[in-house]
Amino acid sequence: MASQQNAPILNAPASVRWIVALAVGVHVLRALLPTGADEWALETFGFYPARYQAADNGGSELFAQIVSPVTHLFLHADWMHLVMNMAFFLAFGSAIGRRMGNAQLVVLYFLCGIAAALFWVYLNPPQHALLLGASGAISGMVGAAARVSIWPPRHSSSALPFWRRSTVIAFVVIWLLLNVGFGIFPIMLSNSYGGIAWEAHLGGFIAGFLLIGAFDGRGRLGVVAMPFGLQEEFRTMNQIRSARPAVDALESLLTRCSVPAKMLREPAPDGAELEQILETAMRAPDHASLRPWRFLIIRGDARQRLGEVFADALCRRDPLADAAARDKEMSRPMRSPLIVVVCADIVADNPKVPAIEQVVTCGAAAQNMLNAAHAMGYAGILLTGKNAHDPFVKQALGLKAKDEIVGFLYLGTPDCEPRPKKRPAAAEFVREWTGREPLG
Ligand X SMILES: Cc1cc2nc3c(=O)[nH]c(=O)nc-3n(C[C@H](O)[C@H](O)[C@H](O)COP(=O)(O)O)c2cc1C
DSSP string, 342-405: EEE---TT-SSS-HHHHHHHHHHHHHHHHHHHHHTT-EEEEE-SGGGG-HHHHHHTT--TT-EE
Q: Which stretch binds ligand X (CB under 6 A): 97-105, 147-155, 343-351, 376-384?
A: 376-384
Q: Which is closer to ligand X, CB of 166 or CB of 384?
A: 384
The pairing of strands 264-265 and 379-383 is: unpaired
Q: Which is closer to ligand X, CB of 131 or CB of 381?
A: 381
Q: Which is closer to ligand X, CB of 221 or CB of 383?
A: 383
Number of residues that bind ligand X (CB under 6 A): 9
Q: CB of residue 440 vs ligand X: minimum separation in angstroms?
A: 33
Give the C-alpha separation, 67 to 165, whole Å: 37
Q: Which stretch binds ligand X (CB under 6 A): 138-146, 201-209, 230-238, 382-390?
A: 382-390
What CA–CA distances, in Å, run from 344 to 18, 283, 370? 50, 15, 17
Which member of 130, 263, 383, 399 binds ligand X (CB under 6 A)?
A: 383
419 lies in the binding site for ligand X (CB under 6 A): no
355 lies in the binding site for ligand X (CB under 6 A): no
What CA–CA distances, in Å, run from 275 to 1, 154, 186, 284, 378? 32, 16, 57, 15, 14
Which member of 128, 352, 421, 436 binds ligand X (CB under 6 A)?
A: 421
384 lies in the binding site for ligand X (CB under 6 A): yes
What CA–CA distances, in Å, run from 166 to 18, 53, 169, 173, 211? 33, 44, 5, 11, 22
For ligand X, the binding residues in 121-160 under the rule CB under 6 A are none
Give the C-alpha separation, 393 to 296, whole Å: 13
Q: CB of residue 258 vs ligand X: minimum separation in angstroms?
A: 3
382 lies in the binding site for ligand X (CB under 6 A): yes
All residues at 6 or more sequence positions from 301 whose CB lies less than 8 Å from its CB, including other chains: none
Give the C-alpha separation, 239 to 204, whole Å: 28
Q: Which is closer to ligand X, CB of 123 or CB of 364?
A: 364
Q: Which stretch binds ligand X (CB under 6 A): 188-196, 212-220, 312-320, 379-387?
A: 379-387
359 lies in the binding site for ligand X (CB under 6 A): no
Q: Which is closer to ligand X, CB of 44 or CB of 258?
A: 258
77, containing H or E segment: none
Q: CB of residue 419 vs ligand X: minimum separation in angstroms?
A: 10
Look at residue 223 and give its three-state secondary structure: helix
C-beta separation of 139 from 201 below 8 A = yes
C-beta separation of 340 from 281 below 8 A = no
For ligand X, the binding residues in 250-269 under the rule CB under 6 A are 257-258
Give the C-alpha separation, 72 to 120, whole Å: 13
Q: Which stretch binds ligand X (CB under 6 A): 40-48, 78-86, 272-280, 375-383?
A: 375-383
Give the C-alpha separation, 336 to 264, whole Å: 5
Q: CB of residue 420 vs ligand X: minimum separation in angstroms?
A: 10
C-beta separation of 177 from 199 below 8 A = no
- On the CB side of 148, CA atoms within 13 Å amount to 33
Q: Which is closer to ligand X, CB of 223 or CB of 257?
A: 257
342 lies in the binding site for ligand X (CB under 6 A): no
Q: Which is closer to ligand X, CB of 419 or CB of 436?
A: 419
Q: Which is closer to ligand X, CB of 133 or CB of 337?
A: 337
Which member of 152, 203, 407, 414 binds ligand X (CB under 6 A)?
A: 407
Which member of 284, 311, 339, 381 binds ligand X (CB under 6 A)?
A: 381
**Which residues share a beta bridge with 424?**
none
Name the site residues for ligand X (rule: CB under 6 A): 257-258, 381-385, 407, 421
